[in-house]
């Protein structure tokens, strides 16, 4: 049975309003599933808790700018060399967004625990020295190691209700190829109850099955596949196009104020369809031009 859905239907069916834990894939300014994120904004999906891969960027900041996020579990929200995340900053500094402070090891192993049904993730000795675990007692606890009797740090399993993940290509059954780096996208897909994939293209199963070992997300974990060429814009899509730093700088400069952030959300997301957005901001010619630069 085909899992290919329109962008609208994938979000309407699989991202419930008030979703408990929503994970957004991609890392830094690459492979953010932005078409799915924008559609979640258009459909006004309230998110009780958002989880980033170790490093979120526009995927998190846009949802926060749209006022949809109650809490965020993250080890980084920012725009790397381009600057701090304006909506995240404003929301945390004003006290309107609760942060579950996490570190990269916990997010990675916590997702692993979620994927494997482990009651918790035991974390490497030494991580308990950082203030992260004291800032987030909900996710981190000191426990007795049953083998040595020493106190060690444990992290609660992370089991996203829904993961929004970008892949380079998938077949109609959801068998997916990540085009470049895996980041934590594979681990997110393993741990989440529902996986919605955004892909550059849907390809025939015969093509996918020529490289089964390189097809790192199996379709049995995937609930919906949405084909949106260019859908990671303005972040990069490994194997397809680069980060649109000019657009990101425009976002950063607008979102520096609450009104500007609202204007961005209205003009570039709520007031436009995905097709219109991509036609205006990321036309195929521009994508191809970027590919030729490679």
Partner 1 sequence: MSAAGRGASDAPGAGVTSGELMAVELARQLRDDDVAVMGTASALPQVACRLAKETHAPDLWFVAGGTCGVNPHLAPAVASCCDEDLLRADTAVPLSDVVLLEGRGDVFTVFFSGGLQIDAHGNCNLVCVGDWGRPSLRGPGTVGLPFLARVGRVLIYTMSHNPRTFVERVDFLGGPGFLDGPASWEAAGLPGGGPAAVVTPLCTMGFDPQTLRMRLETVHRGVTVEQVVDATGFELVVPAAVPVTPDPTEEELTMVRRIDSGGLLKGH
Going 56 to 62 to 65 to 71, the CA torsion angle's sign is: negative
The nearer residue to partner 1, 180 or 283, going by C-beta atoms, is 180
Of the candidate spans 10-18, 98-106, 200-208, 256-264, the one that interacts with partner 1 by CB under 8 A turns out to be 98-106
Beta carbon of residue 27, minimum distance to partner 1 (angstroms, whole number): 5
- CA-closest candidate to residue 62, choices 98, 29, 94, 93: 29
Angle in degrees, CA 278, 261, 75, rounded to 5:
90
Give SS3 for 155.
strand
Of the candidate spans 76-84, 169-177, 221-229, 257-265, the one that interacts with partner 1 by CB under 8 A turns out to be 76-84
Question: What part of residues 54-73 is at the interface with partner 1 (CB under 8 A)?
Answer: 54-55
Beta carbon of residue 148, minimum distance to partner 1 (angstroms, whole number): 14
The span from the CA of 240 to the CA of 290, in Å, is 8
Give SS3 for 7.
helix
The span from the CA of 294 to the CA of 230, in Å, is 16
The nearer residue to partner 1, 73 or 222, going by C-beta atoms, is 73
Give me 31's structure tokens. 């492979």
Question: What part of residues 228-257 is at the interface with partner 1 (CB under 8 A)?
Answer: 236, 238-239, 242-243
CB distance 74 to 104 below 8 Å: no
For residue 24, what are the CA distances in angstroms to 126, 131, 172, 185, 188?
28, 25, 22, 9, 9
In the list 25, 78, 157, 230, the residue contacting partner 1 (rule: CB under 8 A) is: 78
Is 101 a binding residue for partner 1 by CB under 8 A? The answer is yes
Question: What part of residues 104-143 is at the interface with partner 1 (CB under 8 A)?
Answer: 104-105, 108-109, 112, 123-127, 129-132, 135
Residues found near partner 1 in the complex (CB under 8 A): 27-31, 54-55, 74-78, 80-81, 84-85, 88-89, 92-93, 95, 101-105, 108-109, 112, 123-127, 129-132, 135, 180-184, 186-187, 236, 238-239, 242-243
């Amino acid at each position: 049975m085909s899992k290919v859905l329109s962008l609208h239907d994938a979000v309407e069916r699989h991202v419930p309003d008030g979703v408990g834990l929503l994970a957004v894939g991609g890392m830094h300014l690459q492979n953010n599933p932005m078409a799915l994120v924008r559609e979640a904004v258009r459909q006004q999906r309230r998110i009780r808790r958002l989880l980033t891969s170790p490093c979120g960027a526009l995927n998190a900041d846009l949802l926060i700018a749209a006022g949809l996020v109650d809490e965020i579990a993250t080890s980084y929200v920012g725009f790397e060399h381009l600057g701090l995340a304006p909506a995240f900053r404003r929301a945390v500094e004003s006290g309107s967004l609760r942060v579950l402070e996490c570190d990269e090891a916990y997010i990675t192993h916590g997702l692993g625990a979620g994927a494997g049904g482990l009651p918790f993730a035991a974390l490497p000795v030494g991580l308990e020295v950082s203030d992260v675990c004291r800032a987030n007692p909900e996710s981190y606890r000191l426990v007795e190691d049953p083998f040595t009797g020493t106190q060690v740090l444990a992290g609660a399993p992370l089991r996203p209700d829904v993961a929004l993940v970008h892949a380079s290509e998938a077949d109609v059954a959801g068998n997916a190829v990540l085009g470049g780096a895996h980041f934590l996208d594979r681990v997110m897909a393993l741990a989440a109850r529902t996986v919605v994939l955004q892909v550059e293209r849907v390809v025939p199963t015969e093509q996918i099955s020529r490289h089964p070992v390189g097809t790192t997300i199996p379709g049995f974990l995937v609930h919906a596949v949405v084909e949106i060429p260019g859908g990671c814009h303005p972040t990069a899509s490994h194997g397809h196009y680069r980060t649109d730093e000019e657009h990101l700088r425009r976002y950063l400069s607008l979102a520096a104020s609450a009104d500007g952030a609202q204007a961005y959300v209205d003009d570039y997301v709520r007031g436009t369809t995905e097709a219109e957005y991509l036609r205006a901001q990321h036309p195929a010619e521009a994508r191809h031009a970027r590919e030729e630069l490679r």
